[in-house]
Structure 1
Amino acid sequence: MTNDLRIRIDAADLPGLVCSPAAFADGSVQTYRNVHVAVQRRARREELLDPQPGDATSATWTLPCTTTAAPSGIDIKGPYVQGRPGERFVYLSWGTVDEPGTFTMFRRAKLLLGAVPTDVLDAATRTGLLVGRLGLTDSHGCPLCARVVPPAITWTAEPTG
């Protein structure tokens, strides 16, 4: 049986419009300007959901999904859900936006859906809404990247409405 589910990502603590996360062996530093973050569509790196400026107070994205029972538990699918069954995740892509509005990605955060506590995911399949709350600035003041699991993200099931 397939159930509808929405995943809402509530983000706070964005790092700003300018960051310098990459230091090179020669001591030079890459600076990124007009930094934005968005959810990346599955298999379409250039297709992004609602890019938000890096200096926004907060950012929220709601993703349409479906769930089905699978041997490994509940499988989540949707246009913004990446990966194979048992290894699903959502990408938050960080990039710069130039004058004509072109987004050029320089790093990503991988929100691992397999790290959602089982009881929370079970409850979310009943309520219809899974919410992930996280800060988007890493310990160096740069855009959060790499694998994101609790406690860096908090997952809850909430009622739709």
Structure 2
Amino acid sequence: MSQANSAQSVRIRILVVDAPPGVRFAVQRGRSDLLEPLNGQHEPLRFEFSLRLGLPLSTGSVNFLGEFAQGSPSERFVYINSGTLAGQSGSPWTRRAKLKLAFIPPEVVETVLHSGGMIEARVHGTMGDGGPVCASVNPNSVVWGVAPDVA
């Protein structure tokens, strides 16, 4: 990623599949704003946004920047909020899941930068207890890939 600079950005699409019925989800923007899904409560829930790319980290890893990138540079992640944290008053759920951006395969980022498209993540929305996904999402539970950048 040596050619990455702050002028570059990538589009991200998060698809939440098999979400528990009746639970609202939103991606957190900054400290408290929310990005609602593009298609309401239809499956899969779809969120799209952009992240800027800063100079690579000292480890050579991609340095994701922007209002949706949370955490320290070496531990960047995106929050997927659900229940009350997604603005659903009266929900029995108050959960937030972390999608760690360091687990995006470098070849996925390179392909998007050089050939176009967007980075797509497919995340299972329901935990074993039947509630919405929460905590740090196991990297094996997220499928990262390249998708066409279409509406």
TM-score w.r.t. structure 1 length?
0.74
In structure 2, the CA distance between the partners of 1:105 and 1:6, relative to structure 1 (3 Å rule), is: farther
Q: By percentage of residues, which structure has more strand?
A: 1
- Quote the Cα distance in structure 2 between the aligned partners of 1:83 and 1:129: 22
2:145 aligned partner: 156
Query: What is the CA distance between 1:78 and its match in structure 2?
Result: 1.6
Query: What is the CA distance between 1:8 and its match in structure 2?
Result: 0.5
1:23 aligned partner: none
- The match for 1:16 among 21, 38, 49 is 21
2:36 aligned partner: 50
Query: Within 5 Å, which residues of 2 pair with 1:140-155?
Result: 140-155=129-144
- Quote the Cα distance in structure 2 between the aligned partners of 1:157 and 1:53: 20
Task: Answer yes or no: is 1:98 the counterpart of 2:86.
Answer: no
- Quote the Cα distance in structure 1 between the aligned partners of 2:148 and 2:53: 16
Deviations 1:67-115 (A, max 9, x none): 133123211112111112121100001123238xxx9971100000011
Query: Within 5 Å, which residues of 2 pair with 1:1-161?
Result: 1=5, 2-17=7-22, 35-42=23-30, 44-45=31-32, 47-50=33-36, 56-70=42-56, 71-72=58-59, 73-96=61-84, 97-98=88-89, 106-126=94-114, 127-161=116-150
Q: Secondary structure at the match of 1:38?
A: strand
CA RMSD in angstroms, aligned pairs only: 2.6
Count of aligned pairs between the two proteins: 139
Query: What is the CA distance between 1:39 and its match in structure 2?
Result: 0.3
Alignment-mate amino acid for residue 45 of structure 2: A
Q: Give 5+ residue unaligned stretches, structure 1.
A: 18-34
Q: Secondary structure at the match of 1:57?
A: coil
Query: What is the CA distance between 1:53 and its match in structure 2?
Result: 10
Q: Secondary structure at the match of 1:15?
A: coil
Alignment-mate amino acid for residue 37 of structure 1: F
- Quote the Cα distance in structure 1 between the aligned partners of 2:96 and 2:17: 16
Q: By percentage of residues, which structure has more helix?
A: 2
| Percent of residue pairs identical | 33
